[in-house]
Amino acid sequence: MKKIIAVDGPAGAGKSTVSKIVAARLGYTYIDTGAMYRAVALKVLESGKPVEEVTGDIEIKLDEAGKVFLDGREVTKEIRTPEVSRGASDVAKFGFVRKKLTELQREMATQGSVIMDGRDIGTQVLPNADLKIFLTATVEERARRRFEELKAKNFAADFEQIKKEISLRDKQDSEREIAPLKMAEDAVLLDTTNLTIEQVVAEILRLAQT
């Protein structure tokens, strides 16, 4: 059985949805690294302070139930807005932010069997992961999924706007100098455009067990 699983890919590819299910089925801990970048962005947006200042004494915690805590306050819902998505990609460019979160993520991965998702997990955070998955889908499909997700959470959502924002964020994430979004050479590519969640989960479980 593969004990450390890394899942990377662009926005809306289904990383967190499938990773959560795989974690539950295998009894692994799910670690959402995007939530950590989102928490940094939320702190910048709320405080109006520069990211350098905010990162110094930030405390980010993820609990077993998937709740996210920023400096002791639960921010699980607040970090999912489009504004925070944009902000997360902006703060993720800075080396000092990545260094701090990467250290925290590596520390979390020492706690047993984990499935961790993000952009640089297979390439930078856990290069020795037992299984690396790169999840992708067409930008139309990814925008459609994000649109449905935001609607379900009662956030105002506009499909064309979401598609534009996703494309911009993917471009920014792929082109940044430090730890860009990139498929690891030894990752398995899964295009989920025409796959159901259950089909993707089944494939990852199969790969984890071989």
Residues in contact with ligand CDP by CB under 6 A are 11-12, 16, 33-34, 37-38, 85, 88-89, 92, 118-121, 169, 173
Minimum gap (Å) between residue 4 Cβ and ligand CDP:
15
Q: How far is the CB of 89 from ligand CDP (least distance, A)?
A: 4
In the complex, the smallest distance separating the C-beta of residue 105 from ligand CDP, rounded to whole angstroms, is: 7
Closer of 122 and 208 to ligand CDP (Cβ): 122
Which residue number, 175 or 206, has a Cβ lying nearer to ligand CDP?
A: 175
Could you give the CA distance from residue 125 to residue 51 in angstroms, rounded to a whole number?
21
**Closer to ligand CDP at the Cβ: 2 or 89?**
89
Least separation in angstroms between residue 56's CB and ligand CDP is 19
How many helices (H) and strands (E) in the chain? 8, 8
C-beta of 62 vs 88, nearer to ligand CDP? 88
